[in-house]
Structure 1
Amino acid sequence: MTDAEDVHDKNDGRRCGGKATQPMFASESFLFMFAGFMPATAAHAPTVVIENFYPCIEGGRHPIKRIVGEPLQLWCDIFTDGHVVMSAVLKWRQLGTRRWYESRMTPTDNDRWQGLCQFDSIGRWEYTVEAWADTFRGWKKTFAVRVQAADPDVPIEALEGARLLKEAALRARPGAADAASQLEEVAELLEKLPPQEVMEVLLSEDLQKLMDAYADRSLSTTSEPLKVIVERERARFSAWYEFFPRGAEGRADKHSTFRDCLPRLDDAKAMGFDTIYFPPIHPIGITARKGKNNTLIADENDVGSPWAIGGPAGGHRAVEPALGTIEDFVWLVKEANHRGLEIAMDFAINCSPDHPYVKDHPEWFYQRPDGSIRYAENPPKKYQDIYPLNFHCADWKNLWKELIDVVLFWVDKGVKVFRVDNPHTKPVSFWEELISTVQRKHPEVIFLAEAFTKPKMMQVLGKVGFTQSYTYFTWREDKWSLTDYAKELTQGEMRWFYRGNFWPNTPDIHPYYLQNAPASIFRLRAALAATLSSTWGMYAGYEICENEPLPGKEEYLDSEKFQLRQRDYDAPGNIKGFIARLNSIRRDNPAMHLYDNLVFHGADHDQMMCYSKCTPDFSNRMLCVVSLNGHDMVSGMVHLDLAALGLSSDQPYRVRDLMHGTVYIWQGSHNYVSLHPTGTSLHVFKVEPQ
């Protein structure tokens, strides 16, 4: 943002902004967006009604989300009594600062006004609207009517206009002497020029800009501020890769360490991922440790579930000794950063029976009548190796503070991204407190909510601050459910507060359509995840099409959650090249970085999806045609909304398939496409007008 000198408004003591170092009429660089300061208290009763803001989440209870530099276009209704001419400005500032930026709003119809702003740094911001009856614009409109009607009162009305100009000059005088002189000169002209010549002066756009800059706002009304969370680019555009650091080498006979993880990081980077997610890295409990495939009896060589946190080596501020030390982890975080990667840490609020909290703060847990502590359950699942914390215990304030301090501890170690385990099982108010506290100190920190639960709970977690959220994408298989769900996320109200992160698999979820499935289905689901949303992820093993299920369940056989697994990440039949190409296309095309620009187009075949993503200026147009059938050929006509692609019906255009290198010349809305699972099973077209 351009800094501006402060200008004192003598009219009501308000400090407003303006910069006038050259005569205004001669300058094309008039400072339209400027900074200033809001009055501490209103000096009069409201004179204007300002209501019905959009976007607005629950009456302003929750902030909307933006990315640095991303425009925010909003509207509200503004009106007042009588027939006066109105003016309004949109004002915004970063919380904790005094400097306001502002830009003029424009009326559309039926008292609706719209404005545009953007935010130049991450953090928490607020915006408001200030509106007033514009005496000069109103006078100018009436004066033009009088001149046209040859009203005998024109000379007297001209003197009224001169008075308004002189008052504006007084408001400008303290910090913009040149602007004040300009206004005084025009005032003198109004007092002596004939009416028609006066009108020529009044039609000057530069004069109007000058009067707008030093308008009489003494009776303005300012709306209550609304909040915005502004985040860095990776909050909206990212590609996640999850692997267990203890299995980094892919050996069932050897527990890997943090120092062994570099080849896996390099492999993920080569596939185009930028965020590396580790399941919990803390000490794993011994009491009630789970064995292979979640059995209740573990032998001495079983490594246990990383989500059963806490043991002799410590709790949430420690690392599993078999992985190394905290110093080793900090080294790995730095090595990842040097590669352009970020390590996302799992924040799982689980405690094994061996966690230090159990001994030091038994009051933080659920006590049973017999004095024992209740373990976690999600019927029919039971987690005998995990004790859940009681967030509403008598000592809840200290419990909450401790958990917030845990996050800050790891932020200080270089972690800027957290995947939060099961946030829907903890109080929403806790997450609102934790996220706001952490981001006030470290606004760059990103939180991903892993909450596969009821829609309203998933949504409110986004409202209270989670940067990204897991979604139901994993279970959306057919064309209609995928289309409806993607529209709900990216085109409806949710787009203002909820960023869906699409995952085709996780360590907990091995969906039925991937069980014993061919590589073609793995490719198609990855393509859908990576192109429907601007952020997506996959769990290790996906690239080698790992597909053996635990019979009858959406889980992996020999799950890595409970044991070390043997893997060859370069095994024949892997789809690493396909994943790398997919991520490369996403990275190189700005339209794929945006979240809420998804548009669906028609396709005759019920197993073919067609959709596009374009930048607002159409400098980058992407069109995807994807088969949903990993076994058979599908073909048919696609029917494009040319306006959504910035094309005209009589204009031929080139569609360049960035996945396969083929180029077609199309014209009009209706074009034929054929897709085959073992050949071209999808198109990711870059659309280029001829």
Structure 2
Amino acid sequence: MTSPTSSPRIYGHAFGRLGIDDVRPVISGGKLPSKGTVGEVIPVTALVWREGHDAIAATLSVWNAEASTVSSTTMDFDPVNPDRVHAVFTPATPGRWFFRVDAWSDVMSTWRNAVTKKMDAGQSEQELANDLSHGADLFTRAALQTPTDQAGPLFAAVKALASDAPFTERVAPAFSPEVTEILEHHPLRELITEGEIYEVDVERAKARYSSWYELFPRSTGGWDADGNPVHGTFETTKRALPRVAEMGFDTVYFPPIHPIGEVHRKGRNNAVTAQPGDVGSPWAIQDHTTTHPELGTMEDFKDLLSYAESLGLEVALDLALQCAPDHPWAQSNPEFFTVLDDGTIAYAENPPKKYQDIYPLNFDNDPDGIYEAIYDMVMIWVNAGVKTFRVDNPHTKPASFWAWLIAKVHATHPDIIFLAEAFTRAPRLLGLAKAGFSQSYSYFTWQTSKYDLTEFVQHHLEQADICRPNMFVNTPDILHESLQTGGRAMFAIRATLAATLSPLWGVYSGFELYEHEAVKPGSEEYLDSEKYELRPRDFQAALNSGDSLEPYIGMLNRIRRENPALQQLRALTFHEVDNDNVMAYSKADAATGNVVLTVVNLDPRNTQEATVHINYAAIGQDEGASFEVHDKISGETFTWGPHNFVRLAPQGDVAHVLVLPTVAEDRRTQLAWRPQDTYRA
């Protein structure tokens, strides 16, 4: 193959009169929108620069698809990096929003700076004659572009500059606080250079902030007179929901509620052969379009949705794109699968694991057919009232398919939330977020050390403009070793971390009962896994005996509801602690000035002591000042300062969740300035 030839490209068109670089949030060079939610403070930053020493400034302009007006804000300069500017905006409605950073020559600041330096250097009135004349011209132009009812002080500055009054009196009005404030709102701009227009896909607030609880509807039936589990129904599931709501969860997630295949059905503990009465895995789906007959009808399910909504709960339904061998598609559309040379359909494998009860889909044989079939199936549940889908293993399907499906669903139902259950490598996880997933499972479950947790969270902070991690503490598939051996303290530690590090967190039923027995040493599978059998639980008995984490989980969710700082991901700062078993981090909400500082003992077995060193910029307080903190866990109030002693025992409170003084309004915007916003080409 010969190399193509072409003329050298000319790049002069890439430069405007003034320089605008490294605008954020920008995803994939602007080919894709970044993400935001209604009511979320979205930080925008850029590098602006020019030749010489004249002052430069920048404006952030924001609008949405329906807006008839554009909101414009003069951006603030970073006190550390004089070339970086910052601003924030808060979208009020869902849909597509647009923003642009414009750079402009700040002639008024240039004039003021020059006059100040010349006066300080002792130059005479005669030497400054041209500066005073130029100033009068600038202030005249500024006054003419300012609303009439605000322009008076600017005209007064013009009159003073042109007068015969003593020199200091002539220039004083031009530097008055009143004039400075007017110019901040109505700056005189020259050499305006428009930046690129970028987009933000704004979803409803629940895409950003939600507390999930996972339960199996089929396990809500309790026991019969002989102590045997009874298959639950949608009616018994309704009776399980008030407890979930009382713990403060707002999303209840159901694994698949569809008919389960009979062919190659799995038995208890993933036994290859099912015994009589074995219920099988709900992920071995026999028909995606209807409900399991033992749970109830579609009308029963809709009634359950309505009841959940009355409790403040939204039902999230599992979307598992895989089929049991006796799924109708296996007969009607074998091209939706991989057919082997011997004519059989390939079942799922993850060596050494085999899933004979599941046929994975093949999206390449008949993409048009399978795409439309899946869309039609999803819309059955959307039209039934489902607004949130937890998608099973989306990283095993093409990202292009998800981009197509999510966009097509959102075209008519933009409020639908898709959660990617993808425990996978970072590029895949990020790619799924770019494809449209509102939330993503993450590797939080496996991050237990201070170093690993810090690196993990910093990584997600860098991706906060596109990827929202939902930090589940456990799942039916994942019982981490730390929970198997750490006892009650470790369950409390993991819940505290998840609930305070991310605005999205989740709990799988049984966590509050400290369920920790693995099927075998070295495994993360539960003994007697609920994936393969009914597993009713007596939550009330555990609560009555005091052997339940329910009250603590309820407290965490209440703290989250009361503190907007815990309802956002972007503004999180780690504070220095002199003990690797203790970590401290603060979260701040730039809209309200709410700040929460969490200190956690990561050691479930030993009391740990440490000193927490405060990063004052992150909490919006004067450097070195003392301030009161209120511990939402213990109810105590303390006075803190630059260096603070803490002592946390696993037998008691494993953490402090401290509410700090509300930040003054004139300092709140800086809470959204993220430390990772350094130069990036």
Query: For residues 183 and 405 of structure 1, do their structure 2 counterparts lie closer, same or farther at Cα, with a shift above 3 Å needed?
Result: farther
Aligned equivalents of 1:431, 1:275: Cα separation in 2:
23
Match of 1:578 in 2: 552
Query: For residues 116 and 273 of structure 1, do their structure 2 counterparts lie closer, same or farther at Cα, with a shift above 3 Å needed?
Result: closer
SS of the residue corresponding to residue 432 of structure 2 reads helix
Match of 1:280 in 2: 256
TM-score, length basis structure 1: 0.80
Aligned equivalents of 2:609, 2:448: Cα separation in 1:
20
Aligned equivalents of 1:557, 1:503: Cα separation in 2:
20
Query: For residues 148 and 322 of structure 1, do their structure 2 counterparts lie closer, same or farther at Cα, with a shift above 3 Å needed?
Result: farther
SS of the residue corresponding to residue 52 of structure 1 reads strand
Instruction: Please give the per-residue CA displacement for 1:593-643, whole angstroms capped at 9, x wherever unaligned.
Output: 23233333344444333333344489544333333333x331323223151
Aligned equivalents of 1:297, 1:161: Cα separation in 2:
87
* Residue 444 of structure 1, aligned match among 412, 415, 418: 415
Query: For residues 458 and 207 of structure 1, do their structure 2 counterparts lie closer, same or farther at Cα, with a shift above 3 Å needed?
Result: closer
* Residue 435 of structure 1, aligned match among 381, 406, 422: 406
Match of 1:331 in 2: 303
SS of the residue corresponding to residue 570 of structure 1 reads helix
Query: For residues 150 and 672 of structure 1, do their structure 2 counterparts lie closer, same or farther at Cα, with a shift above 3 Å needed?
Result: closer
User: Root-mean-square deviation (CA), in Å?
Assistant: 3.8
Deviating more after overlay: 455-464 vs 346-355:
455-464
* Residue 293 of structure 1, aligned match among 256, 263, 269: 269
Amino acid at match of 2:555: R
1:399 positional shift: 2.1
Aligned equivalents of 2:403, 2:608: Cα separation in 1:
48
SS of the residue corresponding to residue 515 of structure 1 reads helix
What stretches of structure 1 of length at least 5 have no aligned partner? Answer: 1-43
Amino acid at match of 1:589: N
Match of 2:488 in 1: 519
Aligned equivalents of 2:159, 2:454: Cα separation in 1:
64
1:422 positional shift: 0.5
SS of the residue corresponding to residue 516 of structure 2 reads coil
1:418 positional shift: 1.3
Match of 1:477 in 2: 448
Match of 2:669 in 1: none
Match of 2:196 in 1: 224
Amino acid at match of 2:207: A
* Residue 610 of structure 2, aligned match among 637, 655, 659: 637
Aligned equivalents of 1:272, 1:480: Cα separation in 2:
30
Instruction: Please give the per-residue CA displacement for 1:212-256, whole angstroms capped at 9, x wherever unaligned.
Output: 869788x74432222212233322222111001111234453211
Deviating more after overlay: 466-475 vs 428-437:
428-437
Query: For residues 607 and 157 of structure 1, do their structure 2 counterparts lie closer, same or farther at Cα, with a shift above 3 Å needed?
Result: closer
Match of 1:661 in 2: 635
1:330 positional shift: 1.3
1:500 positional shift: 1.8
Tell me, yes or no, if structure 1 residue 309 matches structure 2 residue 282.
no
Match of 2:506 in 1: 537
1:459 positional shift: 2.2
The aligned runs of 1:70-469 (5 Å cut-off) are 70-79=40-49, 86=56, 88-95=58-65, 99-106=69-76, 111-132=83-104, 148-149=125-126, 220-251=192-223, 252-310=228-286, 315-393=287-365, 395-469=366-440
CA contact (8 A) 1:419 1:447 kept: yes
Match of 1:59 in 2: 29
What stretches of structure 2 of length at least 5 have no aligned partner? Answer: 1-13, 663-681
Instruction: Please give the per-residue CA displacement for 1:459-501, whole angstroms capped at 9, x wherever unaligned.
Output: 22223332221121211222322232223323xx122222222
Match of 1:592 in 2: 566
1:295 positional shift: 1.7
CA contact (8 A) 1:46 1:220 kept: no
SS of the residue corresponding to residue 612 of structure 1 reads strand
Query: For residues 292 and 401 of structure 1, do their structure 2 counterparts lie closer, same or farther at Cα, with a shift above 3 Å needed?
Result: same
CA contact (8 A) 1:283 1:321 kept: yes
TM-score, length basis structure 2: 0.81
Deviating more after overlay: 329-338 vs 295-304:
295-304
Query: For residues 201 and 408 of structure 1, do their structure 2 counterparts lie closer, same or farther at Cα, with a shift above 3 Å needed?
Result: farther
Instruction: Please give the per-residue CA displacement for 1:412-468, whole angstroms capped at 9, x wherever unaligned.
Output: 222221111111111122222223333343332222111111122112222333222
1:538 positional shift: 0.9
SS of the residue corresponding to residue 454 of structure 2 reads helix
Instruction: Please give the per-residue CA displacement for 1:102-158, whole angstroms capped at 9, x wherever unaligned.
Output: 223345566544333221112222212234557788789899999954678789969
Aligned equivalents of 1:101, 1:568: Cα separation in 2:
55
1:532 positional shift: 2.4
Instruction: Please give the per-residue CA displacement for 1:527-578, whole angstroms capped at 9, x wherever unaligned.
Output: 2222222221111111112222211321111211111124212233222222
Deviating more after overlay: 324-333 vs 142-151:
142-151
Aligned equivalents of 1:90, 1:529: Cα separation in 2:
34
Amino acid at match of 1:130: D
Match of 1:23 in 2: none
Query: For residues 96 and 409 of structure 1, do their structure 2 counterparts lie closer, same or farther at Cα, with a shift above 3 Å needed?
Result: farther
1:303 positional shift: 1.7
1:404 positional shift: 3.2
Deviating more after overlay: 377-386 vs 178-187:
178-187
CA contact (8 A) 1:249 1:264 kept: no
CA contact (8 A) 1:143 1:157 kept: no
Match of 2:675 in 1: none
Aligned equivalents of 2:431, 2:533: Cα separation in 1:
35
Identity %: 38
Amino acid at match of 1:498: C
Query: For residues 651 and 159 of structure 1, do their structure 2 counterparts lie closer, same or farther at Cα, with a shift above 3 Å needed?
Result: closer
Aligned equivalents of 1:494, 1:302: Cα separation in 2:
43
1:409 positional shift: 3.2
Tell me, yes or no, if structure 1 residue 499 matches structure 2 residue 468.
yes
Query: For residues 188 and 685 of structure 1, do their structure 2 counterparts lie closer, same or farther at Cα, with a shift above 3 Å needed?
Result: closer
CA contact (8 A) 2:614 2:641 kept: no
Instruction: Please give the per-residue CA displacement for 1:344-376, whole angstroms capped at 9, x wherever unaligned.
Output: 111111122222322332222212122222122
Match of 1:555 in 2: 525
Query: For residues 623 and 212 of structure 1, do their structure 2 counterparts lie closer, same or farther at Cα, with a shift above 3 Å needed?
Result: closer
